[in-house]
Amino acid sequence: MKNQNEQKTERSLPNYGGQAVIEGVMMRGKKTAAIAMRSPTGEIEIHTESLNKIYQSKVMKIPFLRGVIGLWDALVLGMRALTISANAQTDEEEDLTSWQLTLTLMFSLSIAVVIFFLIPAGIGQIVEKATGKTAWIGNLAEGVIRLAFLILYMWGIGFMEEIERVFAYHGAEHKVINAFEAGENLTPDAVRSHSVEHPRCGTAFLLIVVVFSIVLFTLLGPMSLVWRFVSRILLLPLIAGVSYEYLRWTANHADHPLVRILIRPNLALQNLTTREPSKEMLEVSIAAFQAMRDGETGAEPA
C-alpha cells in the first residue's frame, strides 16, 4: 500500500490521456504511449512506443500553440493506434508509413471539415439571405446545425455493434484514469466503481470547439459564401487552440463549484461515446496504463 505522500507525488505527474481502439485501449503519457489489445485468442497484446519529442519541448509550454500542435500529433498517434489494433485482429503486420498516415489523416479531417463546418456554413448563408442579410441569425443557425450534426453523428454510430464495443473500451479508459487520479489500486474490482466520464475527454473537446465556433462566428459580419468558407477553415486552428486551453483549465479546476456547472454539458455528451465496460475490458485498459507507466518511469514491462 502506498502512503499518502507517494500518492500525492504520483498525482502531480503530467496528466495522462488515451483513447479506445479496436478491442483495446491506448494510453498516452509524456514520453510513452502503450496500446493493449485483446487478441482473437483472448490474450492481451501490448505495444509500446516513444512519443514525439515535441511533448517534452518548450513549444508545449506555449499557450494556444501547444493545443494546435499537440492535437495534430495526437490525431496521428490515434490513427496509428487504430491501425495497430486492427492489424492485431487480422494478424496483419503491414505498417503504415508516416506519409500514408498523414494522407489518411488529412483525408479524414477534410471529410470532417466539410460535414461539420462547410455544410453548416452553406446552410447558414442560405438562412442569412432568407432573413434579409441578418448576419448574426445566419451564423447562429450555422452553429446550431453544426452542434446538431455532431450530436446526431455520435448518437447514430453508437448503434453499430463494433462501435459500441469501442465505446465500452472508451469507458474502461476513463475508469482507469479516474481510479489512478483518485489514488486507487488498479484492479478491475477497484476500477469498476469509478465513472465512465472524464473532464479531459476528447468528446468534451469536440463540444467545446463547436460551442466556441458558435460564439465566434455569430459575432462575424455578413460575408460572401466563399469568404464564409475560407474564414471557417482559417479560424479553425484558433478555435482549437482556445478550446484546448479551456479544456485544460476546467480539468485542472474540476472541483470548483462553478467549473462543475460549466463542464456538465461536456460530461453529459460523453454518455453518447462511452458504455459500461466488462471486467475483461477493464483488464485490457489497466494493462495499457501499466505498460505506459513502465515506459514513463523507465521500468522494464512486467
Output the pTM of the full model: 0.86
Q: Taking the mean position of all CA atoms in its chain, how far away is CA 155?
A: 16
Q: Residue 10: inside a domain, yes or no?
A: no
Q: For residues 24 and 26, what is the distance between their CA atoms, to the nearest angstrom?
A: 7
Q: For residue 256, give the DSSP letter.
A: S
Q: Which of 70-74, 114-118, 160-164, 228-232 has the lowest mean pLDDT?
A: 70-74
Sign of the alpha-carbon dihedral angle for 44, 39, 16, 62? positive
Q: Residue 1: inside a domain, yes or no?
A: no
pLDDT band at 92 (very low <50, low <70, confident <90, very high): low
C-alpha cell at 14: 503530467
Q: Residue 302: inside a domain, yes or no?
A: no
Is-contact 282 191, C-beta < 8 A?
Answer: yes
Q: Which of 52-56, 67-71, 158-162, 294-298 has the lowest mean pLDDT?
A: 52-56
Q: Which domain holds residue 100?
A: 16-295
Gap between the terminal Cα atoms of the chain: 19
Q: Residue 3: inside a domain, yes or no?
A: no
What is the predicted pLDDT for the residue at 4?
A: 41
What average pLDDT does this structure show over 197-207? 90
What average pLDDT does this structure show over 92-111? 71
Cell 494546435: give the residue: 68
CA distances from 81 to 20, 36, 101 (A): 9, 10, 11
What average pLDDT does this structure show over 165-178? 96
Q: Residue 300: inside a domain, yes or no?
A: no
Question: Closest Cα partner for 37 from 29, 28, 46?
Answer: 46
What is the predicted pLDDT for the residue at 229?
A: 92
Q: Is 172 exposed, middle or buried (0-12, 13-18, 19+ CB in 10 A)?
A: buried
What is the predicted pLDDT for the residue at 8?
A: 40
What is the predicted pLDDT for the residue at 1?
A: 39
pLDDT > 60? residue 208: yes
Q: For residues 72 and 89, what is the distance between their CA atoms, to the nearest angstrom?
A: 26
- The amino acid present at 40, given as its one-letter code, is P
pLDDT band at 44 (very low <50, low <70, confident <90, very high): very high
CA neighbours within 13 Å on the CB side: how many for 184? 18
pLDDT > 60? residue 184: yes
What domain count does the chain have?
Answer: 1
Q: Residue 21: inside a domain, yes or no?
A: yes
Q: Residue 4: inside a domain, yes or no?
A: no
Phi, psi of 131 (to 5 degrees): -105, 20
Sign of the alpha-carbon dihedral angle for 3, 29, 202, 282? negative
- What rounded mean pLDDT belongs to the chain? 86
Q: Which residues pair with 24 in a beta bridge?
A: 21, 37
What is the predicted pLDDT for the residue at 91?
A: 65
Q: Residue 11: inside a domain, yes or no?
A: no
